[in-house]
Amino acid sequence: MSSSPSLFSDSQQHATQTVFVFPGQGSQKVGMLAELAEKYPTILSTFQEASDALGFDLWQIVQLGEHSGHQLDQTEFTQPALLTASIALWRVWLEQGGVLPKYMAGHSLGEYSALVAAEAMTLGDAVKLVNRRGQLMQQAVPPGQGSMAAILGLSDAQVIELCEASSQVGAGQVEAANFNAKGQVVIAGDAEAVQVAITNAKEMSGKAIVLPVSVPSHCRLMKGASEQFGEALNAVALKLPKIAVINNVNADVATDIDSLKRALVNQLYQPVQWTKTLDVFEQNGIHYLLECGSGNVLSNLAKRLPFVEKVFPTDTVARFDEALQQVNAIEV
């Protein structure tokens, strides 16, 4: 891992009630961060750093989408694009004197953004790693054979039971993939089995929304990809994060490098425990949540929780400046 100076000092003010969360796939959109880049040059320099590591122009893909010759929604480009967007905003936050969060967490891909922000790995290493992660995920399941859907209005236990029953009919396997919130669980697996589960969910008075994704993440179809990904991860020098990062697979903080690597490998084919992550926030006195990245998906998941007093998306100049002013006023 190339050495670079720390972007924050150990003596910098730490928040006591605020967490930073980093979004995953689905939060990307063509043109993201364009307005912020006009005000904060660090946005462009961060994307240039990522592009130099990858060997292609990531900012052009983000701003032009398919007109750049690449699809932003193709997972091998989506993943480094979202990670770089989050780190660009994080760097601007630090430059503007923003306080450090008490904890960090990222949803799926966002876990890598959290680890880069906490200086567990460099941006250059991370974008190459998630670019490879995206390629392996895409290769693991041929196009059209896998699917994901959000199941709304059923309990976690009902969704698990639904997936087990739907996997028994000979159409393949389907599993709970993301426990996002109470009453919102994403399922993933073979496309036919997911369709069976959707039909069964509606019969149980639940709602189902097919997600526009190119790969079925966080299910056993990704087991083979996870093994290959482990080899790529072993080539990256990791450090323990300087700010505690709550991982996806067991909503815990890794205490050594081996457990950190194991959590990242297992994350590919095991469910994202986001509901449990939010429970950890509640248990540790968190009242404010800042979403460091494109969109406001994670903000929307958290804002109705009784312990959350306010959420702060940061993906426009107005939102970013409001977050900076209000969080610093709360914490300093």
In the chain, the domains with their CATH numbers are 18-140+221-331 (3.40.366.10), 146-213 (3.30.70.250)
Q: According to the model, what pLDDT value does residue 67 have?
A: 82
Question: How far is the CA of 55 from the CAs of 48, 49, 163, in angstroms?
Answer: 10, 10, 41
Tokens representing residue 234 in the block = 């072993």
Q: According to the model, what pLDDT value does residue 11 have?
A: 65
Q: According to the model, what pLDDT value does residue 3 have?
A: 38
* Catalytic residue (one of 27, 51, 108, 147): 108
What is the DSSP code (8-state) at residue 222?
G
If DSSP codes are grouped into helix, strand and coil, which group holds residue 54?
Answer: helix
pLDDT tens digits, 76-99: 999 999 999 999 999 999 999 999
**Is 108 one of the catalytic residues?**
yes
Supply the mean pLDDT for the chain: 94
- CA dist., res. 223 & res. 155, Å (int): 26
Q: According to the model, what pLDDT value does residue 5 have?
A: 53
Decide if pLDDT at 168 tops 80. yes
Decide if pLDDT at 295 tops 80. yes
- CA dist., res. 245 & res. 240, Å (int): 9
Percentage of the chain lying above the pLDDT 90 cut: 88
CB 176 within 8 A of CB 271: yes
Q: According to the model, what pLDDT value does residue 66 have?
A: 85
**Is 287 one of the catalytic residues?**
no
Q: Is 262 exposed, middle or buried (0-12, 13-18, 19+ CB in 10 A)?
A: middle
Residues 6+ positions from 65 with CB-CB distance below 8 Å:
30, 71, 72
The model's confidence at residue 71, banded by pLDDT at 50, 70 and 90, is: confident
* Catalytic residue (one of 218, 226, 294, 299): 218
pLDDT tens digits, 133-150: 999 999 999 888 999 999
- CA dist., res. 201 & res. 183, Å (int): 12
Decide if pLDDT at 178 tops 60. yes
Decide if pLDDT at 213 tops 90. no
* Residue 50 or residue 67, greater confidence: 50
Residues 6+ positions from 168 with CB-CB distance below 8 Å:
none
CB 166 within 8 A of CB 193: yes
- Could you tell me how far CA 33 lies from the centroid of its own chain? 17
The number of beta carbons lying within 10 Å of the beta carbon of residue 295 is 18
